[in-house]
Structure 1
Amino acid sequence: MTCIVGLVENGDIYIGGDSAGVSGSLMTVRKDPKVCRVGDFIIGFTSSFRMGQLLAHSFEPPKHYDETDLYDYMVTSFVDAVRDCLKRGGFARVDSSAEEGGTFLVGYKGRLFEIESDYQVGEALSGYAACGCGREVALGALFATNGQKPKDRIKTALEAAASLNAYVRAPFNVLSV
């Protein structure tokens, strides 16, 4: 359970996350952050700390060539590399009908993408996104703080989620590129 929040402003990307690790009714405030840099990318994850560890320490994003449309790159080369990483790390789950990973936000080249557990790639027109169990509260806070400084908006969204959701906890980590 988590809250990851991201936004883009003037080409800069900001992603923040909480520190809760939840298993059933047990919650641990974790030292390892849910937001990391991987080369030129910022990634903020929910779903599983194992998935996040693989993305932070094992994932190697494929080269993106400027002549390739960024969205096309994300839905093909990038997602294919994520799938390979999660499979190699023993995280991707495969049943008789589908393969499943986890949910995370990715910031790259002034854009913010949400990767869902079925590996679909989304990009909100609003310029902000959130995932995890604190998502709805965080999105409302991002909407309500439009016009404020980006890091303040991220912090407010995470604080709102923590105050209204039992599975979101400080401290909050925020990265930007």
Structure 2
Amino acid sequence: MTCIAAIATGGVVHMMGDSAGVAGLDLSLRKDNKVFRAGNVVMGFTSSFRMGQLLQYNLSVPKHHPDVDLFTYMVTEFIPAVRNCLKSGGYARIDNNEERGGCFLVGIEGRLFQIESDFQVGESHYAFDAVGCGAPYALGALSILIEDKSRTPENMLSRALLQAERFSAGVRRPFHYEKTNPFQVEVSS
């Protein structure tokens, strides 16, 4: 199920997700969005609506201190907060002595990260990323669309999700869009 796609450009992370809920061959269209804002962070999830609800309503995003590298912060502060949130919400599970969560995208401070089910943090070389069963189609579309400077990020994401919907049975409209506030580096005087 799912296609969540995002673009990081100009200090803003733009993210869009579909509305499909899939269980086996059953499909439902959900009103609860898979893409949401939590303070200055935008997130979009796949894997489980319960996980997404915990991230949206229970996660206390720790403050990032400017003297800590953002990737280091994601690994050492953000992920422990996510793990605690999922554990306390009864979602995190242990498989073969390994704690597992789910897959989601995080836009923060103008950068885009992918969190995998083993809680690893990834940051793509490209200014875009996608997760879910529709991700390969969205990534292919975005790799072409990103070169067209006349398109807005929201338009590119919409076109990419339309392609994912065309080729994946687990992706359906309506699509929901969020973006972060523009990130501006604080200059100390």
TM-score of Structure 1 vs Structure 2, range by shorter chain: over 0.9
2:187 corresponding residue in structure 1: none
Larger Rg: 2
**How many equivalent pairs are there?**
177
What is the DSSP-based 3-state SS (H/G/I as helix, E as strand, rest coil) of the residue aligned with 2:16?
Answer: strand
Amino acid at match of 1:159: L
Amino acid at match of 2:132: G
1:149 corresponding residue in structure 2: 152
In structure 2, C-alpha distance between the alignment counterparts of 1:23 and 1:92, rounded to whole Å: 20
Over the residues paired in the alignment, what is the CA RMSD in angstroms?
0.7
Compute the displacement of 1:61 (Å): 0.8
Deviations 1:94-151 (Å, cap 9, x if unpaired)? 1332000000000000000000000000011111000000010000010110222111
Compute the displacement of 1:10 (Å): 1.1
Compute the displacement of 1:11 (Å): 1.1
Amino acid at match of 2:68: T
Compute the displacement of 1:64 (Å): 0.9
2:172 corresponding residue in structure 1: 169
Amino acid at match of 1:32: D
User: Which aligned pairs between 1:1-177 and structure 2 lie closer than 5 A?
Assistant: 1-146=1-146, 147=148, 148-177=151-180
What is the DSSP-based 3-state SS (H/G/I as helix, E as strand, rest coil) of the residue aligned with 2:6?
Answer: strand
Question: What are structure 2's unaligned runs of at least 5 residues?
Answer: 181-189
Compute the displacement of 1:159 (Å): 0.5
Runs of 4+ in 1 over 6 A off after TM superposition: none
TM-score (norm 1): 0.98
TM-score (norm 2): 0.92
Question: What are structure 1's unaligned runs of at least 5 residues?
Answer: none
In structure 2, C-alpha distance between the alignment counterparts of 1:10 and 1:37, rounded to whole Å: 18
Compute the displacement of 1:171 (Å): 0.1
In structure 1, C-alpha distance between the alignment counterparts of 2:129 and 2:154, rounded to whole Å: 14
What is the DSSP-based 3-state SS (H/G/I as helix, E as strand, rest coil) of the residue aligned with 1:71?
Answer: helix
In structure 2, C-alpha distance between the alignment counterparts of 1:110 and 1:37, rounded to whole Å: 14
